[in-house]
C-alpha cells in the first residue's frame, strides 16, 4: 500500500493525501519468442508462446509437444502405479462385449 503525505505549514503536521495499492515489484511474464509461423487452423501469424497459447485456446487445439508431454506423464504414472494399468486381454474383452451389445441393441443408439 502506497501512502502520500503533504506537510501543512500552518499546523506543522503531515496529512494523508492519497492511498493507492501497488503491485509486487517482480512478476513472471512469459512471452518467449518462437520462430514465426502461419497457423494452418485459422491463418493467424504466431510469433510468441503467449500468442500460441491464446491461439490454441481460441481454436480448441493443442501442439504435438503438449500431447507428447501428456503421454509421457501417463506412462510415468503407470510405471509408478502398476495397479492402474489395464490388462490388454481384459480391455480387448470389454471392447468385444461392448461391440456385441451395440449390435444386439441398435434401437438404443439411434440419433
Distances in Å between the Cα of 6 and the Cα atoms of 1, 16, 21, 53, 82 are: 17, 7, 18, 47, 69
Is the predicted pLDDT of residue 28 greater than 70, yes or no?
Answer: no
CA pair distance 92, 88, nearest whole angstrom: 6
**Mean pLDDT, to the nearest integer, of 40-54?**
87
> pTM for the whole thing?
0.34
**Mean pLDDT, to the nearest integer, of 49-65?**
85
Structure-model confidence comparison of residues 24 and 50, the more confident one:
50
pLDDT digits (tens, 9 = 90+) for 70-108: 777 877 877 777 666 667 778 888 899 988 888 888 888
C-alpha cell read off for 111: 440419433
Amino acid at each position: 500500500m502506497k501512502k502520500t503525505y503533504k506537510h501543512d505549514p500552518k499546523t506543522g503536521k503531515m496529512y494523508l493525501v492519497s492511498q493507492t495499492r501497488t503491485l509486487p515489484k517482480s512478476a513472471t511474464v512469459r512471452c518467449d519468442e518462437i520462430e514465426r509461423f502461419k497457423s494452418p487452423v485459422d491463418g493467424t501469424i504466431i510469433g510468441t508462446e503467449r500468442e500460441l497459447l491464446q491461439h490454441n485456446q481460441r481454436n480448441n487445439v493443442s501442439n504435438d509437444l503438449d500431447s507428447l508431454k501428456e503421454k509421457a506423464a501417463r506412462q510415468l504414472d503407470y510405471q509408478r502405479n502398476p495397479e492402474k494399468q489395464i490388462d490388454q486381454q481384459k480391455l480387448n474383452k470389454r471392447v468385444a462385449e461392448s461391440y456385441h451389445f451395440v449390435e444386439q441393441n441398435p434401437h438404443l443408439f439411434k440419433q
